[in-house]
Structure 1
Amino acid sequence: MASQQQQQQQQQQQTMEVDPISKFKLLVPHLKESLVNLMRIAGQNLVHNAAIDNQLKSGDNPSQRVDKNLEEFYSTLDQIELNLRLAQECLTQHQESVRHAPLPVPIMSKPETSGDGQTMPYGQFLGLARSQVTCAKEIHDALVRCADDLGGKR
């Protein structure tokens, strides 16, 4: 029992590492922390520069740099953007898969989903894949013929 629980936990961790939504959820608190640090340091620099302008302090540089924290903030934003785009692409791919192959194909690593009666047998999947490849070839050939016809008329 303990080994099964460990395996399930490892599978969940691997799924979370791959899942872009999980990564997004993990990055949001880091983004908030980065924004707080950026605003704190920017505020300190503003106060420091105001003191220099009012000739209350000399022109020594503050210890923390805004550009470093700004770079960290933008880096986290970029990671979040990439994960959201990846999640959107995964959703689009899933929707296209559902539209073109209405029954899911069983995955060998998940035997619990293969016997529920709602999956496509492998042989049927091969037939579907062959028909899709044939259709793609026909479309390609039609486009080539059309391009040749257009090129010949000029």
Structure 2
Amino acid sequence: NLMRIAALNLSQNTTIDNGQKSNDTALQRFDKSLEEFYALCDQVELCLRLAFECLSQSIDSSKHSPNLVPTATKPDTVQTESQSYTQYLSMIKSQISCAKDIHNALLECSKRIASKGQI
């Protein structure tokens, strides 16, 4: 749409510059179309960033939890490369413990920085 409007405006300006009578049809404003084009580009950029974040999260998830917990399936089917629910719980508990340790270390560091700033 932007290119069509730009072409129509250019054609009309060329006609006027050549001294010919131009059509009296109201042309759409180029700046409004350009603004709409940039808005669409921004939306595409946001969608691409979101897709990248989802992909990164999926990769991190598969890295930190490589084995899946088996789902409810038929008793005769065996899922390979899966872990039991208790193994999954212990892995999650260790991840939570690690996150708490990092949180506590950051809190301690911020308290030290704050106390040095008050001296």
Question: What is the TM-score of this pair, normalised by structure 1?
Answer: 0.58
Q: What's the % identity of the aligned pairs?
A: 48
Greater relative contact order (Cα 8 A, min sep 6): structure 1 or 2? 1
Shift of 1:102: 1.9
Computing the radius of gyration from Cα coordinates, the structure with the larger value is 2
Match of 2:38 among 60, 71, 74: 74
Cα distance in 2 for residues equivalent to 1:152 and 1:65: 59
- 2:114 is equivalent to residue 141 of structure 1: no
Q: 1:47 aligns with which of 11, 20, 26?
A: 11
Aligned length: 115
CA drift at 1:88:
0.7
Q: Give unpaired runs (5+ residues) of structure 1.
A: 1-36
Q: Which structure has the highest helix share of the two?
A: 1
TM-score normalised by the chain length of structure 2: 0.71
1:100 shift after superposition: 1.6
Which residue does 1:123 correspond to in 2? 86
Q: Is there any run of 5+ residues in structure 2 with no aligned partner, and where?
A: none
Contact 2:70 2:82 in 1 (8 A): yes
Secondary structure, counterpart of 2:46 in structure 1:
helix
What is the RMSD computed on CA atoms of the aligned residues? 2.9
Q: Deviations over 1:24-72 (max 9, x none)?
A: xxxxxxxxxxxxx322321121010122233312584544443454344
